[in-house]
Amino acid sequence: MSKSQHWNSVYQTKPSDSVSWYAPHLEDSLTLIKQLSVNQQVAIIDIGGGESTLVDDLLAEQYQDISVLDISAIAIEHTQNRLGASAQAVTWYVGDITQFNFENKQFDVWHDRAVFHFLTEPSARQAYIELVRQSVKPGGYVIMATFGPDGPLKCSGLDIVRYDDEHLHGEFGADFELLGSKITHHHTPTGGDQQFLYCWCKVC
């Protein structure tokens, strides 16, 4: 089964508010985006945000240039239906982030909650980071959220890589200035607890 087939199956068979990563509001992500944004005209991309509620909150905050990428067309379709007419204000991309090309589009803020930790192969992580270098403007920001050192070892039946801030920043390298990091805890719909690491960097 391909990666897109795997994720399409997940979103076809589970209600959006029952998956382990669901949250009614991604408060940590939204707070960081608001702190790093100079105005509502900044270009923001949410990686793996197919069924995430972050896009709802960004629209409510009147951000004007929002993009969402997900490997699952089903997830994006669900969110477009949820948003109704407001979905027309968002640019939607379907594809594998390790094989994607945004062409001439560049972003001021790159946000990823829980995609990078699925990249268990070094070559996949390198492809991801190269795309970030190409796609984020100099002086732009990268917000990464992965499972932390005590987070789960698997998610949705797939292996993941856990990170501390030194390890995660080390993957990106000196072109990215680490501005801050913090450990957070996500409470899953079934009552579980998942440790997340947030790191935010500035592109040099």
Per-residue pLDDT at 2 exceeds 90: no
Q: Is residue 17 part of a domain?
A: no
Residue 138's Cβ-count burial label (10 Å; 0-12, 13-18, 19+) is exposed
Q: Return the pLDDT at 79.
A: 95
Location of structure tokens 């490997």: 71
Q: CB–CB of 140/186 below 8 Å? A: no
| Residue-wise burial string across 143-178, b where 16 or more C-beta atoms lie within 10 A, e elsewhere | bbbbbbeebbeebeeeebbbbbbeebbebbeeebeb
Beta strands 193-203 and 176-187, pairing class:
antiparallel
The average pLDDT across 63-92 equals 96
In whole angstroms, give the CA distance from residue 183 to residue 176.
20
CATH code at position 99 = 3.40.50.150
pLDDT digits (tens, 9 = 90+) for 150-178: 999 998 889 999 999 999 999 999 999 99
Q: Is residue 18 part of a domain?
A: no
- Helix axes 165-172 and 122-135, enclosed angle (nearest 10): 70
Tell me the three state secondary structure of residue 154.
strand
The average pLDDT across 121-146 equals 98
**CA-closest candidate to residue 177, choices 52, 36, 79:** 36
Q: Is residue 156 part of a domain?
A: yes
In whole angstroms, give the CA distance from residue 143 to residue 201.
7
Vertex 148: Cα angle to 201 and 138 (nearest 5): 10
Q: Is residue 19 part of a domain?
A: no
Per-residue pLDDT at 24 exceeds 90: no
Q: Return the pLDDT at 21.
A: 64
Q: Is residue 16 part of a domain?
A: no
> Average per-residue pLDDT in the chain?
92
pLDDT band, residue 16 (cuts 50/70/90):
low
Per-residue pLDDT at 102 exceeds 60: yes
pLDDT digits (tens, 9 = 90+) for 109-130: 999 999 999 999 999 999 999 9
Q: Is residue 76 part of a domain?
A: yes
Q: Return the pLDDT at 3.
A: 80
Q: Is residue 167 part of a domain?
A: yes
pLDDT digits (tens, 9 = 90+) for 36-74: 999 999 999 999 998 899 999 999 999 999 999 999 999
Q: Return the pLDDT at 64.
A: 98
Q: Is residue 172 part of a domain?
A: yes
Domain that residue 71 falls in: 3-11+24-203
Total structural domains within the chain: 1
Q: CB–CB of 113/45 below 8 Å? A: no
